Structure 1
Amino acid sequence: MALEQAMNISKDEIALYDRQIRLWGLEAQERMRSSNILIVHMSAVSDEVSKNIALAGVGSITVLDDSIVLPEHLSVHCYLQDDDVSRPIAQAMASYLKALNPRVSIIPDVEPIEEKPDTYFANFDVIVAADIDIDIMIDLNNKCRDFGKAFYGTQSFGLFGYVFADLNEYTYSIEREKANVATKPGPETSTRSIVSVNVKRDGTQVKEVVTKIEKYKPLDVVLKHPIDLSVHLKPRQLLKVSPVLPTFYAMRGLKKALFENNLTREHIQEVCTNCARALGLPAGIITPSYVSNVKLGFNTELSAVASVLGGVLGQNILNYLARREQPIQNIAIFDGSSFTAPIYCI
């Protein structure tokens, strides 16, 4: 591999990131290297995301969080130590992330997100909001759309969690063996179209590079206009839809009940069942055992769940920057009670 092809990537960086350069190529690694990522609020999931993208060699990670490290944070944030108590959490996490990969610029920002001007968010390529108020998340998503930036929202609660993606209009390429039936440009699904197909030879193999475009919906549209899954799925398939999906729609009501100290099993059952019906799902998927698990862990983060969600989200951010592989369209669910992680287009 000639160093001239490496653009601005040094010989040491080529050696350090050799595995992913072989997977994605130098051009993709250069895009990662020049990218600026914003993490809004440090949670167990965003800890994992930050670690994964730092080790992959992104350009910069800005940690935006105005909270202070409390003793209870030590059991959630795997990098924090006793000495970090009373420090700004953004500064504490920045220190540990910098130690993971000194080549990545880590920038702590302790100003409240509400005080940031809209133009602040134009400086980033990808913005991740972790476990923040749903209305703030919607507002942030809309700002990302205004500036053409990728947005991810995530939250974990007990055994469950989700990753929501709004990449606006995202163009990417997939390289694969050429099939016997020619791939033609045009619509592939309701959200995805094939833009172009280029055939190339790789030794004895004939491959095709398929360029696609995905179109996304913002979070506020998704929440205001639930998709009727009964139109798209058979009755047997509806029964297999994860109950975490209607819980995602119920999140505003559940958090309000938690704030008002009224998060009872009966309330969870009612709100989640109503959201399931709005999605065209049978009410029976919201079982008493599921409701009990939500009640037990709603305000709790588990490191094992965060590790899975953080891995999924971190990898999708890298795929987005590399413009390779199929992105999340548009919500990935993790259900720790059944060890499943389906993706739904909603």
Structure 2
Amino acid sequence: MSEKPLSAVEAELYDRQIRLWGIESQEKLRAANVLLINIRGLGSEIAKNILLSGINSLTILDDGLVTEEERRKNFLLTKDSLDRKIAKEVLVKAQALNPLVKITADTDAPSSKDPTFFEKFTIIVATGIKTDLLLKIDKICRSKDIKLICGDVFGTFGYSLSDFQTHDYFEDQIQLAGKKRSHDGVEKTTLKVQGVINYPDLNKVLIFPNTKQNAASVKKSRRRNELFFLMLALIEFRNKYGRNPSVSHKADDIKALQSIKEDIFNLYHVDGTKSKLTDDIFDIIFGEVVPVCAVLGGVIAQEVIKAVSHKEVPINNIFLFDPITYDGKEETVGV
């Protein structure tokens, strides 16, 4: 990735965040080309935040049409957007967020894209896709040193999952200079501390029942946050039925989710009689709740900024938004 010095216009526009994370990080962001797969409720929040950060370009890949439900939860759409291609309909408001970013709409189906399509990006952000396509993209990303992060919102539950491969980063740590004092108080120095995180392939993280994936290491793993199993159940539901759980099929979908959860518990050796992840949780996982999209969209966009700028410690490798307490949990899986 080639970074060019910021222009005077860019330096003025991004002045506040340059003060926050530095000119070097901003120049890395300004050189980044981002692919966003699907721009629904969550995707619109991710797009907003990464556009405001000052990337070079954003390509929006989404073959969907605007429905009334999509229009209500996506602030980038208007009342005139119904039945039109969603990727094109978000362009006007998205571009207004940051005129300096190049934004492109692509209305092809993500599954129809040739592998070479994905190779031109710095980082790929995926929402709302099935696991087979996600693993295919992850394999491409690993072969071309491209960062990948995915996430979804189901009702009041949300998650993100990252594969930044071998990711080096630095963070500024403030240290007090002993007992020596200046007129302004204790003297402070800022140290640039470096670190490395090794992320696993996603096929070592997303392991489901009745697949050819090797789950031996998973079965031996430590007891983990049970929201991880909720994440797997919801992803597996989409894999099986090609859609998210729907209120219009609520009773049937809850039964399907109960069965999927039982299979996942068996695979991961979870005692369902002792689990806090009861079937009641499935009453609150329908649709995309806008405030949750805003929270998770901010988290994912922040991880994009960390991945591109190599500044600050990113999440390794899963973020889980608790649908009951509304707080975030970090989980490391597959390492």
Give the counterpart of 2:163 among 156, 161, 166: 166
Aligned to 1:56: 53
What is the rounded CA distance, in whole Å, between the counterparts of 2:111 and 2:239 in structure 1?
20
Shift of 1:259: 5.3
The normalised TM-score by structure 1 is 0.81
Deviates more, 1:265-274 or 1:78-87: 265-274
| Contact 2:124/2:148 (8 A) holds in 1 | yes
| Contact 1:173/1:210 (8 A) holds in 2 | yes
Q: Say if 2:26 is the partner of 1:39.
A: no
Deviations 1:205-260 (A, max 9, x none): 23432211111112222123566588545xxxx6xx2x431022223432256559
Q: 1:304 to 1:222 in 2, by over 3 A?
A: same
Shift of 1:270: 3.4
Secondary structure of 2:314's counterpart equals coil
Deviations 1:16-66 (A, max 9, x none): 211211121111101111110000111211100100011111110000112
| Contact 2:176/2:189 (8 A) holds in 1 | no
| Contact 1:37/1:124 (8 A) holds in 2 | yes
Give the counterpart of 2:284 among 287, 293, 310: 293
Deviations 1:106-140 (A, max 9, x none): 11111222332211111100101111122111211
| Contact 2:45/2:298 (8 A) holds in 1 | yes
What is the rounded CA distance, in whole Å, between the counterparts of 2:255 and 2:104 in structure 1?
44
What is the rounded CA distance, in whole Å, between the counterparts of 2:30 and 2:148 in structure 1?
19
Q: 1:139 to 1:288 in 2, by over 3 A?
A: same
Deviations 1:116-173 (A, max 9, x none): 2211111100101111122111211211111110001111111111101000111100
> 2:330 is matched by which residue type in structure 1?
I
> 2:162 is matched by which residue type in structure 1?
A
What is the rounded CA distance, in whole Å, between the counterparts of 1:244 and 1:263 in structure 2?
22
Aligned to 2:131: 134
Q: Say if 2:184 is the partner of 1:210.
A: no
Q: Say if 2:203 is the partner of 1:220.
A: yes
1:162-311, aligned counterparts within 5 Å? 162-178=159-175, 204-224=187-207, 228=218, 232=222, 241=225, 243-255=226-238, 258=241, 263-283=252-272, 284-294=275-285, 297=286, 300-311=287-298
Shift of 1:179: 8.3
Shift of 1:86: 2.7
Shift of 1:275: 2.2
What is the rounded CA distance, in whole Å, between the counterparts of 2:218 and 2:23 in structure 1?
43
| Contact 2:61/2:107 (8 A) holds in 1 | yes
> 2:238 is matched by which residue type in structure 1?
K
Shift of 1:277: 5.0
Secondary structure of 2:257's counterpart equals helix
Q: How many aligned residue pairs are there? A: 308
What is the rounded CA distance, in whole Å, between the counterparts of 1:301 and 1:171 in structure 2?
34
| Contact 2:39/2:86 (8 A) holds in 1 | yes
| Contact 2:321/2:327 (8 A) holds in 1 | yes
Q: 1:253 to 1:317 in 2, by over 3 A?
A: closer
| Contact 1:45/1:306 (8 A) holds in 2 | yes
What is the rounded CA distance, in whole Å, between the counterparts of 1:115 and 1:267 in structure 2?
29
The normalised TM-score by structure 2 is 0.84
| 5+ residue gaps, structure 2 | 178-185, 208-213, 244-248
Q: 1:135 to 1:231 in 2, by over 3 A?
A: closer
Give the counterpart of 2:154 among 143, 153, 157: 157
Deviations 1:84-114 (A, max 9, x none): 1232211111221111111111111112223
Deviations 1:262-306 (A, max 9, x none): 844343233224424544544222213213333xx1xx1110110
| Contact 1:161/1:244 (8 A) holds in 2 | no
